[in-house]
Amino acid sequence: MLAFYRENARWLLGGFLLTFFSAFGQTFFISIWGAQIRAEFDLSHGGFGTVYMLATLASALSFPFVGRLVDKTSVALCSMMVITMLAIATTSMAMTTSLPLLVVTIFLLRLFGQGMMGHTAMTAMGRWYSANRGKAVASTTIGHQFSEAIAPTLFVALGLYLGWRGTWFAATALLVLVALPAVFFLMKEERIPRSQSDESSNVEEFGKQWRRAEVLRDPMFWLMGVGVLSPAFIGTSIWFHQDYLIDLNGWSKLTWANSFALMAVTTVAGSLATGFAIDRWSAIQLLPLFMVPLGIACLILGGFEEVGAIYASMIFMGLSYGVSSALFGALWPEIYGVKHLGSIRSIIMAGMVFFSAAGPGITGLLIDQGVSFPTQLQFIAAYCFAAGLLMVFVSRTLFARRKIECGGAIKR
């Protein structure tokens, strides 16, 4: 096991840095300054939610086209372009004073931060690794959790000295001076999987290599979406309305920010454990595991006002996101192969971005109509439990189909 990490350190670290620095386009980071942005542009909760939704929807519509870039260029070149565009977006956020430019800025943050940074990393891991894909994906995706643990507390503290706009200039500096050179150095050498030295071995290992058009005609793909796309909607809604929850329940903003570290620890543990489990069994078999803890987290967050509810909900949310983060990186190459992985993942990522856009918009409008967010979370929890049952059916159906495609056994 240690030999795997030692021999592949450069690629795993490069993927980790891509997911780590994607923080600047993630909702949890942008919403740290939600109150300041609403005040600056005179927006209500629903108004900001609508702006956020429109910008993110635009990024979702763009993603199927931009996401194919990772199939057309090297990982290093793709990473350089994505990081550069994200740095332009963070600079724009630090300087914008007009509402139209705010929409464009959020569009760029979501497309290149939330979307392309992680998409590039996960596509590379899915394509470069086979038997150890679970461990590779898990090691890469925990960059998200490290950023969630570090960024809120760090940038809230920086904001006391630099102001909210100054923190975005600091983000630009980190992207240009740290992320850009480090990722290029680590990713400039492409990894060649030992088990995929030619096309014939690729087909033997993965079975049918699905094209994007075929995937879109697959009923199981759409049924998976009922579960796979829900964390994007739920998590983004919670992070976007964190100021609302904090004020409603009388919580300390610093306590909330510090709780991200607890969620991050749980997420990392869940992700690494899931990575090993994927290599032992398969991502398909583990598909139903992430919905129940997410439902429990929503029940706790929506049903209790005590400070302890923050920590309890973060533990269950962390467990769910730990499982799903490793799972979603390994699931698609396992089901659909790796030949057209970038193109296929771009559709999935577009769906996730779309639902992450819909979450703040829909929940914000409901808040403006008098439906409290805690009440909404109770209904969301019920959805999670129902979707978990559906994922059991999907998992069994996909596993049986994949065994047939691979001649009686799923080969990873």
Give residue-wise pLDDT tens across range 11-43: 889 989 999 999 888 877 887 888 788 888 888
Q: Which residue type does 204 have?
A: E
Which of 93, 100, 15, 114 is CA-nearest to residue 357?
114
Q: Enter the pTM of the model.
A: 0.72
Q: Where are the beta strands (DSSP E) in 94-252?
A: none
Residue-wise pLDDT tens digits, 276-334: 888 777 888 888 888 889 999 999 988 787 888 888 988 998 888 888 877 877 788 88
pLDDT digits (tens, 9 = 90+) for 38-54: 888 888 777 887 888 78
pLDDT at 84: 95
- The CA–CA distances, whole Å, from 380 to 111, 237, 291, 303 equal 26, 11, 11, 12
Residue 252 is predicted with a pLDDT of 76
Low-confidence ranges of the chain (pLDDT < 70): 1, 131, 192-207, 404-412
Give the residue from 262, 276, 381 showing the smallest Cα distance to 318: 262
Please state, rounded to an integer, the average pLDDT across all residues of the chain: 82
Q: At what angle do helices 75-95 and 118-128 cross, to 10 degrees?
A: 170
Give pLDDT, residue 198: 41
Residue 1: per-residue pLDDT: 63
What fold is seen in the domain 12-190+209-405?
A: Growth Hormone; Chain: A; (1.20.1250)
Of the candidates 158, 26, 28, 169, the one whose C-alpha atom is nearest the C-alpha of residue 96 is 169
On whether the CB atoms of residues 55 and 107 are closer than 8 A, the answer is yes
